[in-house]
Amino acid sequence: MRGMLAAEARRLANTVIWSWDGFRAAWATEKTLRQWTLANVLSAALAFSLDLTPAERGLILALGFVVLAAELINTAIEEVVDMISPVLDPRAKKAKDCGSACVALAALAAGLAWVAVLLG
């Protein structure tokens, strides 16, 4: 049992390390990730400065993380597409455009949440 717990702890530690490595790599090369992170910091500051319910604040913060996750997925798609298809290909464009649309939809959801919270 102890060996199994140690293996799971190592696996969890590796997952955290690999996730942090991925975020750092994207941060270093992706201006849009840095921009969305700044937008999320500002959004969180506003969420904590306004008189919001815990559920409203949680929704705003969670959707901010969804936008960042979508941006990381988009970055991963772009990197893989660029590696596999260095020449222009309509399928490569479609994959990249779909990744971008994922970010746009997540950002729209976050924006709509703000509208609902502020008008509700």
Active site residues: 71
**Count of alpha carbons within 13 angstroms of residue 80, beta-carbon side:** 10
**How far is residue 38 from each of residues 3, 14, 58, measured CA to CA in Å?**
42, 27, 18
SS3 of residue 52 by DSSP: coil
Distance between CA atoms of 112 and 23, rounded to whole angstroms?
26
